[in-house]
Amino acid sequence: AAFTPRQNRFDKDEPLRTAAPTTEATEGTTKVESGLLKKCRPCSQGIKCVPQIQCPAHVRMESHEKPQICDLPAGKFGYCCQTGQNHTAPRPANTKERRSGLPAILSPSVLEEARRNFEHLMHGVAQIPVRRGFPDFAHGLVFHSTAKDDVHNFAISNSAIEQVITTQLFGQKEQVPLDDFITNNVPTKFTETPLAKHCQPPPICRDIQSVFRSLDGTCNNPLPQRSLWGAAGQPMERLLPPAYEDGIWTPRAHSADGTPLQGARKVSRTLLADVDRPHPKYNLLVMQFGQVLAHDISQTSSVRLEDGNLVQCCSPEGKLALSPQERHFACMPIHVDPEDEFFASFGVRCLNFVRLSLVPSPDCQLGYGRQLSKVTHFIDASPVYGSSEQASRDLRAFRGGRLEMLNDFGRELLPLTNDKKACPSEEAGKSCFNSGDGRTNQIISLITLQILLAREHNRVADVLQQLNPSATDEWLFQEARRIVIAEMQHITYNEFLPIIIGPQQMKRFGLVPLHEGYARSYNAEVNPAITNEFSGAAFRMGHSSVDGKFHIRQEHGHIDEVVNIPDVMFNPSRMRKREFYDDMLRTLYTQPMQQVDSSITQGLSRFLFRGDNPFGLDLAAINIQRGRDQGLRSYNDYLELMGAPKLKSFQQFPSEIGQKLARAYRTPDDIDLWVGGLLEQSVEGGVVGGTFAEIIADQFARFKQGDRYYYEYDKATNPGAFNPQQLQELRKVTLARLLCDNSDRLTLQAVPVAAFVRADHPENQMVGCDDPNLPAVNLLAWRS
Ligand code: HEM
Ligand SMILES: [Ca+2]
């Protein structure tokens, strides 16, 4: 049921090349060598050949300005890129005049009027509580970190919103072309106005030679102006300019033909049915590791009320959406049709949806709203350690470098949380677990991996202490953390990522880990921040891999218990059953994941966070709405970004999908990125289609090139570099080893060698946890 619009794009045997070569490039493209294989002239010195997606300015260039085409590994084309990852190309001359006509500073009257509008939006709205125990409440928890943090974010987000409202008013008054906003081409500033309080240059880093990366990700890039790149709370990047209808923050609500877009729920129920399609090769660990990784690198934040409480956009019981006059400015409720075969039967006509909060402009310039990630963007095991110094201190035991754990009759579990806002239930015995990430209790299989990683930290800390008896708690903690982060990174690049994006993209984006020696891909120009396209669409591919049920203790055709996933969302009590942790791990490596395609389990699309309610939320609709909230452009624009032709008609899809698409959208230019990506056929050797593969590959290239502390870098780059012997040891780590080392050994005594591959797959084999053939990191390399 999958389809790819352009399976072979960028391939050298593709006769139709969309990127019009410059005269230079045509000269440089030498004669046909064999068949259709052409060879391109290399880029001039100092200019890098990169995949099209990493040179996004080309989309806005005239054809004669497009960069020269060059060769990339795996038989692919790239661009000799001079604009870097900046998506704004030099603008046509005729708009220059308009821009220079704008005032440098805002007038007091605009400021005052905007202030009044803002006050009204803040206080003149109906306040309907979001009740504990209901699905919306749990949805709000997804954006929770700590109670203190919620209040702090409120203040910052408010400043940002006020800036946006002021910018909108200014844009109307001065008739600024939309294009100038989306390409950051408005010279006007907030300087010397009350809105300037958050415009501060990034801090200067004092200790740039620190052996250990900071907890909040600051000073990873030590260069002036870049000390906050990738740090917690920093804005996301964009591959393409936002698709806001006013260029600033008004979400895309109209089709390319001017009529209103269909609602997100309508798209979800028309296109994303629930079909059971188990993956023939990969198991649920791929899904579950993917979610842990997603939480490591991104957590957005939703707008809240002044007291930190959640915003509600629907009338009680979802009977209808509040009118625009009475609802909060961040409301973007999801409309439910009366003929909705599921929600309408409960009388529900409105699903709550609150927009993401924003960050103020760092350089004080007027521009579009920018979303943030609250966690460190880097892959740095932040779900284990938290994304701030304080969060990490709250998790530490301050003995032997260990993390605090709950001793549950001899088994180490995560400690229980005392943060009342972290758990939907206040009942005793239903307490939630605490970790470095506020989303841990979302589903019990996620808790399982969070426990696994915390145990791994303590296991490593204990061994380090035996080897270095006089080491301090601080050193043991930081060194164990450094090792666990390296393990996370190695498993991500070595085992996980190739499964997702396939071997060709791994090569083309330079993501394959080395077998020996140090890697040299650090590039101080690369901002490691998460992109909106990645967090709002591409990496949400994982939602399609979720199975609606867990088959616990599946052995020889026998299953002990079938657990529906909504029953284990924010309901961690099963973890206290003695054998559950081992059983869950075994389930994850035995049970297939679902294929990444246009099918989403009803466990997510109807019953998400149901709790005791008869119905839940629709995560698919939420994803679509979120993409519009984040200003993601339509799927077609991303095809163009990658150098593929845009779709012109729904008939380019197989007829069944084409018909459904035509019911959900007016033109192919309307297709939401997340939906279009899921409809593609998977790339060779990977589980996602070409578009998601590119967006994901680009993101992981940022994490590698833009992380000075990446585990494969040497001392010249990374002040916390591993010595050659340590690095060689770290390269032995596998997820299989982690499963064995951190299981309870109650029902789990053996693991599949390739942990992400179904245990029953012919290419895989089970190996006993004590088998010497299961490689392990020898920590003797850390004896000082
Ligand atoms: C196990 C079941 C899962 C559940 C119940 C779940 C639920 C959610 C929810 C409620 C959100 C926030 C939606 C919004 O309001 O925008 C979310 C966001 C997200 N999810 Fe999942 N998810 C699951 C698995 C996964 C997996 C397997 C992956 C990837 C492999 C993934 C990747 C993401 C990403 C990247 C985001 C955006 C995070 C952000 O930037 O805030 N999720 N998920
Ligand atoms: Ca992180």
ipTM value: 0.99
Which of the residue ranges 24-38, 303-317, 466-480 would you say has the lowest mean pLDDT? 24-38
String of b and e for 580-593 (b: at least 16 CB within 10 Å)?
bbbbbbbbbbbbbb
Dist. CA 473–CA 479, nearest whole Å: 10
Mutate to test the pocket of ligand 1, among 543, 602, 623, 695 (most ligand atoms within 8 A of CB): 543
Q: Is the C-beta atom of 401 inside 6 A of ligand 1?
A: no
Give, as residue ranges, everything with CB less than 5 Å from ion ligand 2: 296, 376, 380, 382
pLDDT computed for residue 21 by the predictor: 32
Surface-to-core class of residue 784, CB atoms within 10 Å of its CB (0-12 exposed, 13-18 middle, 19+ buried)? exposed
User: Has residue 91 got a pLDDT over 80?
Assistant: no
Ligand nearest to the CA of 303: 1
Say if residues 167 and 111 touch (Cβ distance below 8 Å). no
Q: Is the C-beta atom of 289 inside 6 A of ligand 1?
A: no
Residue 361 CA to ligand 2 centre (angstroms): 23
Residue 627 CA to ligand 1 centre (angstroms): 13
Residue 644 CA to ligand 2 centre (angstroms): 32
pLDDT tens digits for 508-525?
999 999 999 999 999 999
Name the residue with the closest Cα to ligand 1, atom 22. 543
Q: Is the C-beta atom of 294 inside 6 A of ligand 1?
A: yes
User: Has residue 28 got a pLDDT over 60?
Assistant: no
pLDDT tens digits for 115-128?
998 888 877 777 78
pLDDT computed for residue 92 by the predictor: 54
pLDDT computed for residue 1 by the predictor: 35
pLDDT computed for residue 776 by the predictor: 95
Which of the residue ranges 395-409, 411-425, 626-640 would you say has the lowest mean pLDDT? 411-425
Q: Which residue has the tokens 């494969």?
A: 712
Q: Is the C-beta atom of 539 inside 6 A of ligand 1?
A: yes
Mean pLDDT of the chain: 90
Query: How far, in Å, are 72, 77, 167, 242, 746 from residue 246 at the CA level?
Result: 38, 35, 10, 10, 59
Q: What are phi and psi of 48, to 5 degrees?
A: -90, 145
Q: What is the pTM of this model?
A: 0.94
Q: Is the C-beta atom of 622 inside 6 A of ligand 1?
A: yes
Say if residues 132 and 609 touch (Cβ distance below 8 Å). no
Please state the atom number of ligand 1 nearest to the C-alpha of residue 604.
5
Residue 291 CA to ligand 1 centre (angstroms): 7
User: Which amino acids are annotated catalytic?
Assistant: 295
User: Has residue 97 got a pLDDT over 80?
Assistant: no
pLDDT computed for residue 38 by the predictor: 66
Mutate to test the pocket of ligand 1, among 291, 310, 688 (most ligand atoms within 8 A of CB): 291
Residue 701 CA to ligand 1 centre (angstroms): 21
pLDDT tens digits for 563-605?
999 999 999 999 999 999 999 999 999 999 999 999 999 999 9
Three-state DSSP at 460 gives helix
Residue 220 CA to ligand 2 centre (angstroms): 12
Nearest to 723 by CA among 714, 734, 732, 731: 714
- Can you tell me the mean pLDDT for 701-715? 98
| Band (344; pLDDT cuts 50, 70, 90) | very high
pLDDT computed for residue 601 by the predictor: 98
User: Has residue 267 got a pLDDT over 50?
Assistant: yes
User: Has residue 477 got a pLDDT over 90?
Assistant: yes
Nearest to 685 by CA among 500, 491, 543, 513: 500
pLDDT computed for residue 27 by the predictor: 36
Please state the atom number of ligand 1 nearest to the C-alpha of residue 139.
10
Dist. CA 540–CA 533, nearest whole Å: 10
pLDDT computed for residue 305 by the predictor: 84
- Can you tell me the mean pLDDT for 639-649? 94
pLDDT computed for residue 12 by the predictor: 45
DSSP 72-131: ETTTEEEEEESSTT--PPPPPGGGHHHHHTS-SB--HHHHHHHHHHHHHHHHSS---PPP
pLDDT computed for residue 588 by the predictor: 97
pLDDT computed for residue 646 by the predictor: 95
User: Has residue 452 got a pLDDT over 50?
Assistant: yes
Three-state DSSP at 288 gives helix
User: Has residue 186 got a pLDDT over 60?
Assistant: yes
Which of the residue ranges 72-86, 451-465, 592-606, 714-728 would you say has the lowest mean pLDDT? 72-86
Q: Is the C-beta atom of 687 inside 6 A of ligand 1?
A: no
Three-state secondary structure along 583-631? HHHHHHHHCEEECCCCCCCHHHHCCECCCCCCCCECHHHHHHHHHHHCC
Query: Residue 634 gets which letter from DSSP?
Result: B
User: Has residue 538 got a pLDDT over 50?
Assistant: yes
Which of the residue ranges 115-129, 178-192, 614-628 would you say has the lowest mean pLDDT? 115-129
Q: Is the C-beta atom of 543 inside 6 A of ligand 1?
A: yes
User: Has residue 250 got a pLDDT over 80?
Assistant: yes
Tokens of 308: 């930190």
Does 328 appear as a known binding residue?
A: no
Say if residues 215 and 385 touch (Cβ distance below 8 Å). yes
Percentage of the chain exceeding pLDDT 90: 75
Ligand nearest to the CA of 388: 2
Name the residue with the closest Cα to ligand 1, atom 6. 543
Q: Is the C-beta atom of 290 inside 6 A of ligand 1?
A: yes
Residue 541 CA to ligand 1 centre (angstroms): 9
Name the residue with the closest Cα to ligand 1, atom 29. 542
pLDDT computed for residue 428 by the predictor: 60
pLDDT computed for residue 147 by the predictor: 67
Residue positions counted in the chain: 784
| Band (306; pLDDT cuts 50, 70, 90) | confident
- Can you tell me the mean pLDDT for 724-742? 98
Say if residues 40 and 474 touch (Cβ distance below 8 Å). no
| Band (429; pLDDT cuts 50, 70, 90) | low
| Band (463; pLDDT cuts 50, 70, 90) | very high
pLDDT computed for residue 101 by the predictor: 76
Dist. CA 578–CA 748, nearest whole Å: 12
Mutate to test the pocket of ligand 1, among 144, 496, 540 (most ligand atoms within 8 A of CB): 540
pLDDT computed for residue 552 by the predictor: 93
Three-state DSSP at 335 gives strand
Dist. CA 130–CA 110, nearest whole Å: 35
- Can you tell me the mean pLDDT for 324-342? 94
pLDDT tens digits for 55-86?
999 999 988 889 999 999 888 889 999 999 98
User: Has residue 423 got a pLDDT over 90?
Assistant: no
Please state the atom number of ligand 1 nearest to the C-alpha of residue 629.
16
pLDDT tens digits for 366-409?
999 999 999 999 999 999 999 999 999 999 999 999 999 999 99
